[in-house]
Amino acid sequence: MRFLTPRGALGRCALAAAFALAAGLTTLSPLARPAAAADGLQQVTDFGSNPGNLAMYEYAPADLPADAPLVVAMHGCTQSASDYHSHSGWQEFADQWGFAVVYPQTSAANNNLSCFNWFDPAEDTRGRGEAASVVQMVEHAAARYGTDRDRVFVTGLSAGGGMTSNLLAAYPDVFAGGAVNSGLPAQCATSLAAASGCQYSDQRLTPEQWGDKVRGSYPGYTGPWPRVAIWQGTADRTVAPVNGTELRDQWTDVWGIGQTASGTRTLPGGTTETTYDDSTGRPAVALFSVSGMAHGLAVSPGSGADQCGSTGTYYLNHICSSYYTGKFWGLDAAPDDGGATLPAPAGLTVTGTTDTGASLSWSAVNGAASYAVHRDGTRVGSPTGTSFSDTGLSAGTAYRYTVAAIDSSGAEGARSGAVTATTTGAAAECYTATNYHHVTAGRAHHSGGYTYANGSNQSMGLYNVFVTHTLKETSPGYFVLADGGC
């Protein structure tokens, strides 16, 4: 469905209407009062001057230790803090890994459909409006819980994702990392009139131009930049998949690391993770492209270690994004290696590769009870010896590994230098073309005026020369949408 920004006097509710209608809502009736707090969620009313007129809710495990991390989680349009707390899965990882969660909540008083105003400079810039209110919430919670100020993170869905981008740009001195779920690049729109173009269209900016929008949000800042995870569904018709690519371009440029991937891996739910490493070999930006996912937050109900959340409106059953986001930020690990008791293993070497695996070896560390093997920043094994074989990998793909020694108390020591293992065989090939040319090349077919990918049969939209998609050939003759990255 297509929407045009109305001319003349524009209210903040216009873009919110576009978000809601594009997602399938049919009425613009006022929202009901938010549900009562549940599952330990508590409202805080005295967190500051609150220039953005937001409500603050928080959750913390009963045994939260000092110097624990803090996560700020921002809901999407028509949602509430309680709704996001119940569905997103952040509560269970707060309990498991030990951190507090703050849920900012907007209302119909700010925006007719309770969207955060990510397109309004009076609300989304440093020291102003809703953005300033969120930072006041961080300060209040950090003081109350004794938060590790180097491990404060922010994540959000849709309009909350757009506000997340702006918070990361405006407050890189506050947030160590962020996750933008079905959201927009930082400062993509600075007016209501420009907002719909960001949602639906390629803005045709260079990575440097995108990066300048971040650098201009806090001029003169010279500190470390946040590590950013980007989640985007390939079938999103509310926030076009190109936004995932634009976010990737923006934050890799800010980090100065370019747009060439350091590693790619396949995750559950048809998800492809593409990482971009900093100079130390640690992923600074990660793009998670979820094949076939529409507009929403990816969840995966179940009891598995990598599952979380519950389904609902805009909570879609594909993969537990909160789990992989938390792992990307390092919420499951010690804060850093500064107090590590064991040195980094020496001599990490790739001893062999196949099309689906890689083998490693390293020198022993005195006092090590076992070792932690990290692939692209995520722990994938804990062998007791000095070798490890990683399996289930994609052919023709580069993976970056580090190893750390673990002492008898379970404390992980310093990580080794990184090595790169490239599996044998041919990597999955990607093709970007119009729907018409995909069909003529034999990668797709058309029926009833619409185009469908061969093999996966995913809908690609109208059969014409105006709609462009990227298709990934995962096996001979089998193609999937890969607009968010390949």
Tell me: the pLDDT tens digits for 424-461?
887 678 888 999 999 999 999 999 999 999 998 999 99
Cα gap 239→196, rounded to integer Å: 9
Q: Report strand pairing: 70-74 vs 152-157.
A: parallel
Nearest Cα neighbor of 397 from 434, 427, 437 is 427
What is the pLDDT, as a whole number, of residue 485? 65
Q: Report whether pLDDT(32) > 60.
A: no
Amino acid identity, residue 238? Answer: T
Q: Quick one: average pLDDT of 45-72? A: 94
Comparison of pLDDT for 98 and 484, the residue scoring more: 98
- Tracing tokens 């492209």 back to the chain, one arrives at 289
- CA 376 to centroid of chain Cα atoms: 15
User: What is the C-alpha separation between 431 and 451, in angstroms, rounded?
Assistant: 15
Kind of pairing, strands 283-290 and 271-277? antiparallel
Residue that has been written with the tokens 């569905």 in this structure: 87
How far does CA 118 lie from the centroid of its chain? 17
Pairing of strands 387-390, 398-406: unpaired
**Which pLDDT score, from 0 to 100, does residue 365 have?**
94
Residues 469, 467: Cα–Cα separation, whole Å? 7
- DSSP structural state of residue 239: S
Please say whether the beta carbons of 214 and 251 come within 8 A: yes
Q: Is the pLDDT of residue 361 over 60?
A: yes
> pLDDT, tens digit, for every residue of 314-357?
999 999 999 999 999 999 875 554 455 788 899 999 999 998 89
With tokens 């309680």, the residue in question is 82
For residue 372, what are its two tokens?
A: 């932690």
Helix, strand, coil shares of the chain, percent, nearest 5, are 20, 30, 50
Count of beta carbons in the 10 Å neighbourhood of residue 380: 17
Report pLDDT for 7. 26
* 144-160 pLDDT per residue, tens: 999 999 999 999 999 99
Q: What are phi and psi of 110, to 5 degrees?
A: -90, -35
**Integer Cα distance of 203 and 250 in angstroms:** 12
484 — pLDDT class (breaks 50, 70, 90): low
Cα 171 to chain centroid distance, Å, stands at 18
pLDDT in tens, 96-145: 999 999 999 999 999 999 999 999 999 999 999 999 999 999 999 999 99
Question: What was the pLDDT predicted at 473?
Answer: 84
Instruction: Show which residues are catalytic.
Output: 158
CA atoms within 13 A on the CB side of 380: 23
Contact 181, 101 (CB under 8 A): no
Q: Output the CA angle 404-275-407, nearest 5 degrees.
A: 10
| Average confidence (pLDDT) over 368-387 | 89
User: What confidence score (pLDDT) does residue 335 get?
Assistant: 56
pLDDT tens track for 409-425 = 888 888 887 788 888 88
pLDDT surpassing 50 at residue 3? no
Mean pLDDT of 92-98: 94
Write out the E strands in 234-314.
263-267, 271-277, 283-290, 297-299
pLDDT one-digit tens code per residue, 466-476: 998 999 887 77
Per-residue confidence (pLDDT) for residue 180, from 0 to 100: 98
**Mean pLDDT to the nearest integer, 45-70:** 94
Q: 268-306 burial, b if ≥16 CB within 10 A, otherwise e?
A: ebbbbbbbbbbeebbbbbbbbbbbbbbbbbbbbeeeeee
pLDDT confidence tier of residue 242, bands split at 50, 70 and 90: very high
* Residue pLDDT, tens place only, 259-302: 999 999 999 999 999 999 998 888 999 999 999 999 999 999 99
The pTM of this model reads 0.67
Band (pLDDT 50/70/90 cuts) for residue 27 is very low
Rg of the Cα trace of the chain? 22
Q: 347 phi and psi, to 5 degrees?
A: 75, 25
What pLDDT score does 486 carry? Answer: 64
What does the buried/exposed string (b/e) look like for 204-214 if buried means 16 or more CB atoms within 10 Å of the residue's CB? ebebeebbbbb
Strand pairing category for 227-233 and 152-157: unpaired
pLDDT of residue 193: 85
pLDDT at residue 81 is higher than 70: yes
Parallel, antiparallel, or unpaired: how do β-strands 349-353 and 378-381 relate?
unpaired
What single-letter DSSP state applies at residue 277? E
Helix (H, G, I), strand (E, B) or coil at 161: helix
Say which residues have a Cβ less than 8 Å from residue 333's Cβ, sequence separation at least 6: 379, 412
Residue whose C-alpha is closest to residue 268's, from 326, 318, 316? 318
Q: CB neighbours (10 Å) of residue 364?
A: 13
Range with the lowest mean pLDDT among 14-28, 29-43, 339-353, 358-372? 14-28
